[in-house]
A = this chain, B = another copy of it.
Amino acid sequence: MATKRISAVLLDGGVCCAPLSAAPLAVADAAELARVFAALADPVRLRLLSLVAAGGEVCSCDLEVPLGKSQPTISHHTKALADAGLLVGEKRGRWMMWQVVPERLAALRAALS
């Protein structure tokens, strides 16, 4: 019930409304947006997101080496990005395959205008 309403900026295709400069951000919208930006506020997560974005579909096991972090740390970061809606994962056999959610990135771009 607490989250019946979610910022319109972050729903739908993400090409929505309420850009920063149009009108003062509502408190709830600001909280939601901040949650997503917080997911991007870490250099390791940004590189992880970039690796997945550039690769199209990437396995968790292929992230440890390029990022130079331990397996639990990689798992921690993929979860953070997934919780923010920026990544979706699909378990395929033994492997976890990750993809970016382009609509989510578009929603962020829309909010930053």
Q: Which residues of A contact B (CB under 8 A)?
A: 20-25, 27, 30-31, 33-34, 37-38, 40-47, 49-51, 53-54, 66, 100, 105, 108-109, 112-113
Contact = CB atoms under 8 A, between A and B. Distances in A.
Contact of A47 (B24, B41, B42, B112): B24
Contacts of A40: 33-34, 37, 41
Copies in the complex: 2
Specify the main secondary structure of chain A where it touches its partner. Answer: helix
A50 B20 contact: yes
Nearest to A31: B43
Given A109-B112, A109-B113, A112-B108, A33 B46 contact: yes
Given A30-B46, A42-B34, A43-B31, A54 B23 contact: yes
